[in-house]
Every structure is written in C-alpha cells, then in structure tokens.
Amino acid sequence: MSNAAKTPSKARMYRGTSRNLALLANVLRRGELVAVPTETVYGLAGDALNPAACRKIFKAKGRPTNDPLIVHIHSLAQLDELAVRNEAVEKIAAAFWPGPLTIVLPKKPAVPDLVTSGRPSVAVRMPAHRVFAELLRRCGRPLAAPSANPFGYISPTSAAHVRESLGGKIGYILDGGEAEIGLESTILDLRDPRKPAVLRPGAISAEQIGSVLGRRVRASAGEQKHRSLALAATGELAPGMLSKHYSPRTPITLHARLSARFAESLPVDEVAVFLFKPAKRGKAGKAKAAGNIFWLSEGGDLRRAGRSLFRVLRALDNGRWRRIHAESALGRDGLAVAINDRLTRAAAKR
C-alpha cells in the first residue's frame, strides 16, 4: 500500500446531489479544498483567486511552487476575468470546450502569481464533467485544481484513489464516478496564436487542433528537453512537464513491444503490462491466472487502454512487485502519444 494510504482518512465522500453541491460550493468559497471529478483525472480544487486557498493545494500535495496550477472555469465570461484572449481562442473554445483541453494565455492581474508560478501566463480549462461543471457554476469562482494526489505520484481516476492518497490531508471528496478519459488534459500554448504548440499531449491531438486553426501545431512533447525539478530555476510554463512524473514507487521498464514468451520468463516478483490482451494466450493465459500478466484493454480499444493506465499502475504499485514491465502504444493517435508520454515520465529514473 502507498504511504498515504496508511494515514487515517479524515476525508468524507459526497455524491453529486444538489444539496451536496451547494454545501461544497460554500466550502470552496470560504477557502477550503475539495477533491473533484473531471473527465480526465480527479483534481484537488481551491479558489484560484484566493492565494491562501492555493497555498493549501501546494501543501496538501507536497507540490513545489514552481509547478503552476490549471484554473478551471464554467464560462467564457470567466475566461475574460483571468486571461487575455486572441483570435485563435474563439475557434479552439468553440471546437473543444468544454473538454480535455487546457489553453495557456497571457494572464490578467486578478490571477495570483502563486497560481502561475510567477509567470505572466495562466493555464485555463473548461471541464466537460457534468458534476464538476455544476459545482463550478454554483461556486461562481474559478477553481485551481491540479491532480488530487501527492506530487509526482500516479494521478487518481476515482474517488477511492483520492481517499487512499490524500484522505488524511483533506476533508471533502466529491465522488463523480470513474474518470472517462483517465489521462490529463492536452495543454496548448496559445500565447502567440501564430505559434501554437502542444506542451503536454492528451486525448485531443496536435493534428486535431491544427485542423481547427488551419495551421501546423508544434507538438513540443518529445521534441523539447524535459526538465528535472532540480534544474527548474524558474516556474514551469505548464504542469506535467517534468521528466519524472506520474510515477509509481515500483520501478518501470518501458518496452516498445512485449511478447508472451518474455512475460512467461519473468521472475515471480516482476509483472508485465500489455497494452492490449495478447492474441495468443498459451502459457501467458496461465501466467495471467497466476497474477503476473495484465493488459490495459481486453479488445484492442485505445480509449479503454488510456482510461485504465493509471488505475492498473496504482493496483500494481500496491501489489509489492519488484519491477513493472510496460508496453508502449503504437501510432501517432492523440491517445497513443499521451499514453507514451505518461509511461515515459513514469519510467524515468529519479
């Protein structure tokens, strides 16, 4: 079990009823924190315009202040309170909001420097999760909400994951079911609409964004030099850009492809994670029954694989394995790139 799981939980779970949403909106307005569901992963929300509330987010997560927070909104009117729009924003918002896309724009003075790690830009998203969207509307405040987990650990995709990791440090968890996508949002740098760039891949690809903007969008992930926390002397431009991130305590070895033969030869304390269920079961089927072969999707569905990734890594990390062998995703599909980005960072050496 994770170290956080050994701490007695003080967090209370709330279903998304009208009464509970009204209660939690008041909790947020008075500067407290609430773990919230989104379509990507669960977030730890606090009033983005309240520096004291944002400091609580950094403290609860053990997050360094040079890693900025994403601000969540429920309307374009809220965006105008936070950021300076340009001609590209209208097209992107019309195509992808609400949804799993974060946009980096020049910030307005209302946004505390703590939220942006001292940078003159802010990352903003309009989530599609119905329960979270209603909470945002009732609260009436933009909410900073990084993933609801200890900094650098595997992101949570269920309320139970949040309680396991942070239940001893927060008081309120809004249970909105399992995250539909299971991977963090795509982050798009639109500070200069002539030079759009994807800073973090997600379910929405650079190609999809480019088709809306009518221009090539640079896919910086994989092209840029990932930075370590020790080298990040200034605030990061956006979250999720460190070399080591989304990481279990169990070491991960990343493979371009895994074979049943390789999996069958593993020591009993090592585990293989296939992207899809192996086509030929043979001995691999017996190994699966013994508990050291897993897969992210039963039927070759990349969306299901992405949705399962963090859940499976968490389960294996709690299983006391000595090493996890994980298989990369093939292709340049947005989800394949996002899955490989998360696996690469999870497997990076400390």
CATH number for 199: 3.90.870.10
Q: Consecutive 10-residue runs of the chain (350 residues): their mean pLDDT?
A: 52 97 98 98 98 98 96 97 96 98 98 97 98 98 98 97 96 98 98 96 96 92 43 65 84 95 92 87 45 90 97 95 96 90 89
What's the pLDDT score for residue 279?
A: 67
Is the C-alpha dihedral spanning 128, 131, 132, 134 positive or negative?
A: positive
**Domain of 268?**
252-347
What's the pLDDT score for residue 283?
A: 47
What's the pLDDT score for residue 132?
A: 98
User: pTM for the complete prediction?
Assistant: 0.91
Q: Are residues 289 and 342 in the same domain?
A: yes
Q: CA-to-CA distance for 166 and 10, rounded, in angstroms?
A: 9
CB atoms near residue 349 (< 10 Å): 6
List of residues 6+ apart from 212 with CB closer than 8 A: 91, 92, 95, 96
Domain membership flag for residue 239? no
Beta bridge partners of 173: 13, 35
Q: Are residues 223 and 312 in the same domain?
A: no
Q: Are strands 70-72 and 143-144 parallel, antiparallel or unpaired?
A: antiparallel
Q: Are residues 171 and 287 in the same domain?
A: no
What's the pLDDT score for residue 220?
A: 67
Helices (H), the chain: 18-29, 51-61, 76-82, 87-96, 130-139, 159-166, 206-213, 260-264, 282-290, 302-317, 334-347
What's the pLDDT score for residue 230?
A: 41
Total domains in the fold of the chain: 2
Q: Are residues 227 and 264 in the same domain?
A: no
Q: CA-to-CA distance for 73 and 57, rounded, in angstroms?
A: 17
Domain membership flag for residue 265? yes
